[in-house]
Amino acid sequence: MIKNFKWLLFASLAFVACDNEEDVVVDANSSDGKSLTAGSAVVTKYVALGDSYAAGFSDNGLFIEAQKGSYANIISQQFALTGGGEFKTPLMADNVGGLLLGGNVISGTRLFFNGTAPVPVPGRPSTEVTTKLTGSFNNMGVPGAKSYHLVAPGYGNIAGVATGQANPYFARFSSSASTTVLADAVAQAPTFFSLWIGGNDVLGYATSGGSGVNRTGNLNPATYASNDITDPNVFANAFNGIVNAMTANGAKGVVANLPYVTALPYFTTVPHNPVNLSAAAAAQLNAGYAEYNGGLQAMVNANLLTAAEATRRTINFKAGANALVIVDSYLTDRTSFRIPSFRHATAEDLVVLPASSFIGTLVGGNAAAVNGVSVPLADNWVLTKDEIAEVKAATDAYNVIIKSVADAKGLAFVELKGVTDQLAKGGIVYNGYTTTSTFVTGGMFSLDGVHPSPRGYAIIANLFTEAINAKFGSNFKNVNVGTYRILYPLSL
């Protein structure tokens, strides 16, 4: 009897021990139920560096609710659960978006979906650039910033905003007229930082339909226009300088690589072949282009153009769906012979989102002059195959640099380049919700076709969190993306 009692007591104690081992430590704020920890990362002072994505820009504007939903702010909320300090953001003055400079509107209000199309929110911005914010700010995301802008003195000089020499968003909260974004970040002595920069180094070129200049080989960014592609060496110098400065005092951090901007809805929504014609209309258009087509053949006969290029440039409409007619600056220049550089668009060309309201409009009210059909679309409306290749080559070069620096400095690395491919091929599933890159309804991107939606920012924050956990042994919990809306409504 005593022997049996001993066995029963042993079994009981063993059961309690196992039960305690599994159930005593249950932290609902961690990813694994164990006690929440930042691992080897120190998140006491978090500073976020970047561009409009870090700032929370959405629906073609920066506004308070979007700033609160930025991926950087979501990450800071996770950090706050394990010793993270206050995360200050240079908030805008309203939820309509837009900017004033000396009382004049220099940036319009945000977009909302009226049930038919994205349209600007009625009203007038109230955020005045010349009204300086005081103190330091953890969210150093600056809409419009390129890599080299973060290290450019005077980028926050209000006096330079009107001439395009300075950034109106940074001018609101820069510590002085001569400081840099990086200097203001370093001055806060961060213990942890995030850096996602480089998208704007190709974005302006892409959104302008490649009407800028590929500056590869030009090491002087002072000569660049806003729609130029940044030389990879310029990017490397800026990126290395930023990371070196941020890690100089032992801060740890996370960096992210760059998706191809050409996968954004801004470039994938408008089809290349939206021209639907009757047989009679097609014949009429072909008659109008007969002289041009004949000129191409004359160039071939004179050995001034290859037969293959002449075929590519030939304009030929048919009954049914037809491709747009575009100007392509990469075609052999024969304008001196009065042969313009026209051709039909192909599936390898990307028509930019604003073209959706321009294609099919009449020039001067003339029914015979239809934009995209009888009047070819100018370069700024289409990113051609050759221009896409330039964007991708620059992005690939930037990404090699980002990964190399992350490895050398022991930083967490977020693989975002493949995310846009996933979004286009079935989407990303989080918390039972499938999010895609489809314009308006996909859930990932906002109404400007470039910047994330509230749910998109939540997904990005989760991807950053997962990379931080993997690198530093932390167990920060992903947010439930289902609690974040897809689009901002008219009233906020």
Could you please report the per-residue DSSP string of 170-207?
Answer: HHHH-SSSS--HHHHHHTT--SEEEEE--THHHHHHHH
Domain membership of residue 392 (yes or no) is yes
Domain membership of residue 14 (yes or no) is no
**334 plus 201 within the same structural domain:** no
What is the average pLDDT across 361-377?
A: 96
pLDDT for res 60: 98
Tell me what percent of the residues of the chain surpass a pLDDT of 90. Answer: 91
Domain membership of residue 33 (yes or no) is no
**241 plus 302 within the same structural domain:** no
pLDDT for res 225: 96
**308 plus 259 within the same structural domain:** no
Cα–Cα distance for residue pair 33/477, rounded to 1 Å:
9
pLDDT for res 424: 84
Domain membership of residue 79 (yes or no) is yes
Cα–Cα distance for residue pair 374/59, rounded to 1 Å:
33
**291 plus 398 within the same structural domain:** no
301-351 residue pLDDT tens = 999 999 999 999 999 999 999 999 999 999 999 999 999 999 999 999 999
The residue range of the domain holding 134 is 46-268+386-483
**215 plus 113 within the same structural domain:** yes
**208 plus 145 within the same structural domain:** yes
Q: What CATH number has the domain bearing residue 441?
A: 3.40.50.1110
Cα–Cα distance for residue pair 482/437, rounded to 1 Å:
17
**186 plus 207 within the same structural domain:** yes
DSSP 8-state assignment for residue 452: B
pLDDT for res 279: 97
DSSP 8-state assignment for residue 149: G
**212 plus 326 within the same structural domain:** no
**118 plus 222 within the same structural domain:** yes
Domain count, the chain: 2
Tell me what percent of the residues of the chain surpass a pLDDT of 70. Answer: 95
Cα–Cα distance for residue pair 200/208, rounded to 1 Å:
12
What is the average pLDDT across 170-179?
A: 98
Domain membership of residue 336 (yes or no) is yes
Neighbour-count burial for 105-130, b at 16+ CB within 10 Å, e otherwise: eebbbbbbbeeeebebbeeebebebe
What is the average pLDDT across 443-449?
A: 97
**118 plus 215 within the same structural domain:** yes
